[in-house]
Amino acid sequence: MLLAVDAGNTNIVFAVHDGTEWRGTWRVRTDAERTSDEYAVWLLALLGHAGLKPTDITRCAIGTVVPAALYNLRRLCRDWFDCEPLIARASLDWGFEIRVDAPHEVGADRLLNALAAHQRYRGPLVVIDFGTATTFDVVHGDGAYLGGVIAPGINLSIEALHRAAARLPRIGIGRPQAAIGRNTVAAMQSGIYWGYVGLIEGIVARIRAEFDEAENGRLKVIATGGLAPLFAEGTTIIETTDPDTTLDGLRLLAERNPAPTLVRHSRRDETLP
């Protein structure tokens, strides 16, 4: 079975795939200081609850946009599952071209989303990921990654609004009943929600204009991330929501690339990258 680890700026998602389906998916707050043993105490208990054993894990794959978290995640795979993890990097075999100025600068999550979305939906695509940042990634009909857009995430915007304006409270995100708020919280919720709907529609429209759909084909718009269903309710631009896009990308990447050879190091070797 494959242990897939998707380490984002806010949360780290651990999931196990048995070759046919995902057997369990769990998340923990991202903390670069958390040790491999701390991960293991938490994760092994959840594996047991799902009827899985550490020996069931035969491969590990990690995709991370938090370099500081990689060391302990790698040690988790080595010390507790006897696997050398495959690390999602631009230098691996992705099965498509990365047509940007500096491929090594592209976040692993964006490439994983492109891989999984193309495999599942084909055709030209825009993949919107509602994470710590809201990203828009463009995939050519042949699967090539063409680049995209990075905007502040919804929760970042909410937090910034609360911190920068002394009299504005911290709010939760939800679809407001009306655009015109009758109180401060309702007005803020409207601004955040409909503001992001406008951002989604505006950026997709500009991408479509630059992509030249008449020549290259119509772009399908796929959304992933926890807030994808909420924003899909507010616009017809989003055609499909797919919560497992990044994890599926890790699974597909592991299938395309050979398993790395296990590297044994002393636990005292804190210089290992």
- Note if the pTM is more than 0.85: yes
How far apart are the C-alpha atoms of 111 and 88, rounded to whole Å? 9
**196 pLDDT tier (thresholds 50, 70, 90):** very high
How far apart are the C-alpha atoms of 273 and 270, rounded to whole Å? 8
102 contacts: CB under 8 Å, gap ≥ 6: none
How far apart are the C-alpha atoms of 116 and 135, rounded to whole Å? 15
Residues classed as catalytic: 109
pLDDT, residue 266, reads 53
How far apart are the C-alpha atoms of 267 and 79, rounded to whole Å? 9
> In which order are the strands placed within the sheet that holds 2-7?
22-29, 11-17, 2-7, 59-64, 86-87
How far apart are the C-alpha atoms of 201 and 181, rounded to whole Å? 22
How far apart are the C-alpha atoms of 110 and 121, rounded to whole Å? 16
Question: How big is the CA angle at 223 (ends 217 and 225), to the nearest 5 degrees?
Answer: 155
How far apart are the C-alpha atoms of 172 and 155, rounded to whole Å? 9
The 3-class SS string of 107-127 reads CHHHHHHHHHHHHHHCCCEEE
How far apart are the C-alpha atoms of 193 and 176, rounded to whole Å? 7
Neighbours of 109 (CB within 10 A): 27
- 2-6, 50-54, 137-141, 163-167, range with the lowest pLDDT: 163-167
pLDDT at 50 over 90: yes
**Count of residues in the chain:** 273
pLDDT at 38 over 50: yes
pLDDT, residue 174, reads 86
Q: Which domains does the chain carry?
A: 2-90 (3.30.420.40), 122-251 (3.30.420.40)
**268 pLDDT tier (thresholds 50, 70, 90):** very low
Residue with tokens 């491929």: 103
pLDDT at 25 over 60: yes
Could you read off the pLDDT of 96-120 as tens digits, one per residue? 999 999 999 999 999 999 999 999 9
Q: What's the token pair of residue 2?
A: 């494959």
pLDDT, residue 53, reads 95
Instruction: Give the mean pLDDT of 164-178.
Output: 83
170 close to 158: Cβ distance less than 8 angstroms: yes
